[in-house]
Structure 1
Amino acid sequence: MRSVFVFPDLERAAVVALLDRLSPDQRHPWLVYGCLYPDLTGEDEHLYTDWEPAAVRALSDACGGRPSWAVHVDVSGRIDGTAEVRRLTSALIGRGGVAMDDYSDHVWTAEQIAADVTVDGLRFFDFRGHYERNRLTR
């Protein structure tokens, strides 16, 4: 599975309500758009355990401190998932917040995601570009 971490500028209850609307029949994790598995995770559940220190610093700098919780979205490897990830991320951070993916240490805003901005040669959730970059450097 591929992952995205979303840090909405919303109360947890509002995020739960949004996810409940998108997935009324399943929770923890929710099933959204048939291929995304979002769930809430906090520092007490080892949110930053596998993160590189540079990624944690970038997130902390962007947020003015280290967020204590996130929406961790697993993406099925059976499908591309890019459109679905962008749609869910936009719904979660459209009014504020940031997201990070498995492919860079960049902290993405909703505006950057919507504009398909490239940072260090990669777009948000650019698993293909990341794969190609790694294939060429081997």
Structure 2
Amino acid sequence: MHSIFVHLLDVSRDEISDYFDAHAERGLREHWYSPHRTDPDFSIRFPHAGSDFRDAENRKHVVEALEREPDMTVQFDAGLKRPAHKQLRAFLTALLTKYSGVALDDLSTHVWTVEELQDDVHIGGFAFADHESWRKLHKIHPSAPRSAEHGKQQER
């Protein structure tokens, strides 16, 4: 699983919560799932205090792109069951068309604009949040889940 952070301007927590209520399925408290809670492509939440940015350089790039500190940060978690980068990009394009802001994935330090998401720009050879292609290029494969029975068989 990987996290994407979206930094927004001129929007309140209540306004963005209403937007997510209208465009995703609400879970417990301030947590949403898209498209459905039972089989989500990604989840949405507000990040824990102090985890809005990876580091000081990350914050600097966001502030430069926005020309000030963001008013709100939202965290999207994706890739648990399927890549979902295309669905995530479509959701963020709609979000960033309505609200000013930028997005960051964890494949680069690039600060993504709505125009780049709309145009499916590739940075460093990869589309926004395209972990599947990144893993294939670097020959990194996620471990297959193992059943409890598998562990018992090895112990015998």
Indicate the TM-score class for this superposition, using the shorter chain for normalisation.
0.7 to 0.9
The Cα shift of 1:29 comes to 1.2
2: distance between equivalents of 1:22 and 1:70?
Answer: 17
Partner of residue 154, structure 2: none
1:58 and 1:130, CA in 2 relative to 1: closer, same or farther beyond 3 A? farther
- Aligned mate of 1:128, from 123, 129, 132: 132
- Following TM superposition, the consecutive aligned residue runs of length 4 or more in structure 1 with deviations greater than 6 angstroms are none
Partner of residue 122, structure 2: 118
Counterpart amino acid of residue 29 in structure 1:
H
| Aligned 8 A contact 2:104 2:110 in 1 | yes
TM-score scaled by length of structure 1: 0.81
Percent of pairs identical after alignment?
A: 23
- Mark the runs of 5 or more structure 1 residues left unpaired by the alignment: none
1: distance between equivalents of 2:64 and 2:135?
Answer: 28
The Cα shift of 1:41 comes to 3.0
Counterpart amino acid of residue 51 in structure 2:
L
Partner of residue 30, structure 1: 32
Spell out the pairing of 1:1-138 with structure 2 (5 A cutoff). 1-12=1-12, 13-26=14-27, 27-33=29-35, 34-41=40-47, 45-48=49-52, 51-95=54-98, 96-135=100-139
- Mark the runs of 5 or more structure 2 residues left unpaired by the alignment: 141-156
| Aligned 8 A contact 2:47 2:73 in 1 | yes
After the TM superposition, which of the residue ranges 96-105 and 74-83 deviates more from structure 2?
74-83
Q: Which of the pair has more CA radius of gyration?
A: 2
1:14-40 deviation digits (Å, cap 9, x = unpaired): 211110112354242111212211012
| Aligned 8 A contact 1:3 1:74 in 2 | yes
